[in-house]
Structure 1
Amino acid sequence: MTTVGIATGAGRGTGEACARRLADMVDVLLLADRNEAAAAAVAKDLSGYGGKAVAEPFGVDVTDREDLDRLAERVSELGTLRAVTHAESVAPEEAHWRRILEVDFVGTALLAEALRPLATVGTAFVYCASVSPLIAHIVPDPSVAAVLDDPLQEGILDRIRDAIGPAVEDPAWAYPWATYGVHRFARAEAVRLGPVGARACSLSPGAIDTPETRLEAARHESVRQLIQCTPLGRVGQYEEVAAVAAFLVSEEASFVNGVDIVVDGGLCAAVQDD
């Protein structure tokens, strides 16, 4: 049996770090990214590294159903879906609020929809989210939750805006709402996948040493304060997030399902009573 892994956002950052971990866990690894050239560069490097997997770049937009159908078809051609790490995202600093919700939240649901029929015993999904909804203490009322729990309904972005209100048009608020949606989605997906022996979890990094974090820390005192509040006294690294993602899709985590795992150096523990 040929095992297949998928790492989305594999051309850089957390997605690339996850891909490097998965390369030793499956037979064929699809490096999925909107930037296929970046994914191809990672695939070339992995091939030279000598990992277990044959690395194959795959250009895909997670908001495009046709792209995702092609991805699922390629998995079916190759073998059995074993592991998916989903780190494709857009940062609040880089996008309009609608694009943040579309990629980070709706894109997660679209990816799951396309790959769900391929899930079998031992298949594991990890959806990267964020601690931002935990820091922001997001607790929606039932009417908002009902909208978020149906991310593939027609007009979902407008429905979210109507439910939450104009505040969500601020990218700094759209991002925690999008990743909160991922938390909810992962729990629901775990329930859907359980009967076939497959699993799904979300993974929420704290302040990670990214170009975006460095830029925001330089611009905003609030970001610097969050970093300073982290009990470990530093930002995290991509590899530290990827290590946890690799554990969650491994057989060692075979009874871990439907939970959000926080990788934040203790930040949430430090600010939980604020």
Structure 2
Amino acid sequence: MTTIGIVTGAGRGMGLECARRQLGAVDRLLLVDLDAGTLATAADELATSAHGTVVEPFVLDITDREGLAQLAARARELGTLRAVAHAAGISPTMADWRRILTVDLVGTALLAEALRPLVTEGTAMVCFASMAARFGAGEPRPDIEAVLADPLDEHFLDRLREAVGPEIEDTGVAYSWAKRGVQRLVQREAVRVGGVGARVCSVSPGVVGTPQGRQEAAQHPSMKRLVDQSALGREGRPEELAAVAAFLLSDQASFLTGVDILVDGGVIAGLAARRS
């Protein structure tokens, strides 16, 4: 049996580190990213230390249904789907509110839908959410949660704006709701695929020293304050997030599914301590 791994957002940052951790864990690894140049560089780098894993780049926009169908077909052609690390996404300074929700939440739902027919006993998937879902989206509200539960509805963005209000057009707010939607999606997906012995979890990073993270920090000085007031008092490293994702994808985590793992260096703990 040839085992297949898929890593999205694999061109750099946390996605690249997640891909690195899958070398030797699967027989063939599909590296997915929108940027063909960055992806080619990552594939060349990983191929030099592949530990027996065959590395294959796959250029794809995660919101492209047809492209996702081709990705699923390629994975099926190659072997048995074993591990999926979905790190592709954009942050508040990179697009408007609609694009953020489309890439970060709708894209995640589309990926899960495309790969669902391939999952089998032992398949594991990790989706990247964010600590922002814990405090940036406000208190849970049934009307908003009902909309978030169906991100593939053709009127999803309009329905969410109606439920949340005009503040959803703030890209930071949109990002927080998108990542909360990812956490909720993981819970539902875990139930859908659990019957065949597959697992789905999410990881919620804090402030991490990636190019994307540094871009956000440059625009939002409040992020440095969060880091300074966190339990560890430092930002995370991409490889630290990848290590958690690798554990969740491994057989060692065989009884973990439908949960979100907060990996924030104690930011949320710091916020709680200041409130007490």
Same fold (TM over 0.5): yes
1:103 aligns with 2:103: yes
Q: What secondary structure is seen at the aligned counterpart in 1 of 2:57? A: strand
| TM-superposed deviation, 1:215 | 4.0
Counterpart for residue 256 of structure 1: 256
Does the 8 A contact of 1:17 with 1:242 survive in 2?
Answer: yes
Distance 2:102 2:174 in 1: 10
Inter-partner Cα distance in structure 1 for 2:185 and 2:259? 10
Residue 89 of structure 1 is matched in structure 2 by: 89
CA drift at 1:135: 2.7
CA contact (8 A) 1:86 1:127 kept: yes
Tell me which residue corresponds to 1:194: 194
Residue matched to 2:149: 149
Provide structure 1 residue ranges, at least 5 long, that are not aligned to the other structure.
none
Give the CA deviation at 1:149: 0.3
| Secondary structure of 2:195's aligned partner | helix
Give me the whole-angstrom Cα distance separating, in 1, the residues matched to 2:199 and 2:124: 5
Partner SS, residue 127 of structure 2: strand
Matches of 2:124 and 2:103, distance apart in 1:
21
Distance in 2 of aligned mates of 1:2 and 1:215? 39
What residue identity is the alignment partner of 2:99?
A: R
Equivalence for 1:181: 181
Which residue number corresponds to residue 171 of structure 1? 171
**Cα shift at 1:219:** 4.2
In the alignment, is residue 161 of structure 1 matched against residue 143 of structure 2?
no
| Cα 1:14/1:134, change in 2 over 3 Å | same
The answer as to whether partners of 1:4 and 1:75 remain within 8 angstroms in 2 is yes
State the distance in 1 between where 2:8 and 2:103 align.
12
The equivalent residue for 1:53 is 53
2:67 aligned partner: 67
Give the distance between the partners of 1:180 and 1:122, measured in 2 at CA. Answer: 26
In structure 2, how many angstroms separate the alpha carbons of the residues matched to 1:149 and 1:110?
Answer: 13
Native 8 Å contact 1:93 1:212 kept in 2: no
Aligned to 2:40: 40
Report how far residue 244 of structure 1 moved: 0.3
- Alignment check: 8 A CA contact 1:25 1:52 kept: no
TM-score (norm 2): 0.96
CA distance in 2, matches of 1:126, 1:50: 21
The range that moved more, 45-54 or 194-203, is 45-54
Output the amino acid matched with 2:54: V
In structure 2, distance between residues paired with 1:70 and 1:5? 15
Q: 3-state SS of the aligned residue for 1:127?
A: strand
For residue 32 of structure 1, give the secondary structure of its aligned residue in structure 2. Answer: strand
- Tell me the secondary structure at the aligned position of residue 272 of structure 1: helix
CA–CA separation in structure 2 for the residues paired with 1:5 and 1:161: 36
The answer to whether the 8 Å contact 2:91/2:216 transfers is no
Does the Cα contact within 8 Å between 1:85 and 1:127 map onto a contact in 2? yes
Unaligned stretches of 5+ in structure 2?
A: none
TM-score (norm 1): 0.97
Amino acid at match of 2:158: D
Kindly state the Cα deviation for residue 137 of structure 1 after the two structures are TM-superposed.
Answer: 5.9
Aligned counterparts, 1:104-123, within 5 A: 104-123=104-123
* Partner Cα distance (1:37, 1:111) in 2: 22
Query: Which of structure 1's runs of 4+ aligned residues deviate more than 4 A?
Result: none
Matched residues, number: 274
Give, in whole Å, the separation in 2 of the partners of 1:111 and 1:62: 7
Do the aligned residues in 2 keep the contact of 1:62 with 1:103 (CA within 8 Å)? Answer: yes
Please give the secondary structure, in 2, of the residue aligned with 1:188. helix
- Report the AA paired with residue 80 of structure 2: T
Identity level (%):
55
* Structure 1 pair 219–68 and aligned structure 2 pair: CA distance change class (3 A): closer
